[in-house]
Structure 1
């Protein structure tokens, strides 16, 4: 079966304590298939990646930010996976957005987008969890990003086939 190609714009949404907001997803066709992922989603026709990120942030958290608040492109990633019997080949872009304490407190997570939960994760929690977190090695990459800043060229996190690879990428 040919996978559905999808471009996404994702946000590393940090609160004032450097905790990262992740949403929880599940596959209804696979018992126990659960993973945590960043805010963001598909880039729609006629939309650029920044506009998609701003729209997705508003849809998923009710927060409205201007595109200038999103940092430059920090990471890219490509992943293949299946959910609910559909196969995807997804290109992802990641940008950083820092929130004030008041903004983080005002976020209202859309229950349809995060029907299985959401959590503000500390880097220590990300580094030690046994749960599946996407993208892989998120704690490691986020630690480097916060320590070193965004490079001149976005960091490519790799190409992964989540259905075929056994290491599902905690931390």
Structure 2
């Protein structure tokens, strides 16, 4: 019996920090509800950095001039359903710095079922009992703030 690998779906995600080192997360209702970093799949011919900026504009109305795009911090691979079909999503996570005031939901063009956005102080992120993706996000941010970006992207659990 052979098993097939789901088709690849490349994605770019932003670990968005403001001047107070709070992280911006988006709330979704599906699968029992969860919080996640902004981002989404790459479009044809697009690189990860460009996709990160586009996703911030589409989901949160953030003008790319307000974004300080940093290093790739992590990556994650996960099989899951997208539009009713199973894919293997490979995500690259980029550190981004954005002033909190740059979020302008009136300019968002593709809110993608986002129910809420919230700036999380790191202590609250560590203490929450809510589901947050990617797993290990609070520890990753703590490490980056204390030691700087990793030499090679960290591989995160599903």
Aligned to 1:154: 153
Aligned to 1:11: 14
Q: TM-score, length-normalised on structure 2?
A: 0.84
Q: Is the CA contact 1:51–1:67 (under 8 Å) kept in the aligned structure 2? A: no
Rounded Cα–Cα distance in structure 2 between residues aligned with 1:49 and 1:67: 18
Q: Quick one: structure 1 residues 51 and 131, their matched pair in 2 at CA, closer, same or farther if it must change by over 3 Å? A: same
Unaligned runs of 5+ in 2: none
- Please state how far the C-alpha of 1:3 moved relative to its aligned partner: 4.0
Aligned to 2:28: 25
Deviations 1:98-148, CA, capped at 9 Å, x for gaps: 123xxx113123473353211111111111111110000211111011111
Deviations 1:2-28, CA, capped at 9 Å, x for gaps: 74531111111111111111111122x
Q: Quick one: structure 1 residues 24 and 83, their matched pair in 2 at CA, closer, same or farther if it must change by over 3 Å? A: farther
Rounded Cα–Cα distance in structure 2 between residues aligned with 1:34 and 1:3: 25
Query: Across the two proteins, how many residue pairs are aligned to each other?
Result: 152
Q: TM-score, length-normalised on structure 1?
A: 0.78
Q: Is the CA contact 1:50–1:67 (under 8 Å) kept in the aligned structure 2? A: no
Q: Is the CA contact 1:24–1:36 (under 8 Å) kept in the aligned structure 2? A: yes
Unaligned runs of 5+ in 1: 161-171
Secondary structure, in 3 states, of the residue corresponding to 2:56?
helix
Computed over aligned residues only, the root mean square deviation of the Cα atoms, in angstroms, reads 2.3
- Please state how far the C-alpha of 1:42 moved relative to its aligned partner: 0.7
- Please state how far the C-alpha of 1:40 moved relative to its aligned partner: 1.1
Q: Quick one: structure 1 residues 88 and 35, their matched pair in 2 at CA, closer, same or farther if it must change by over 3 Å? A: farther
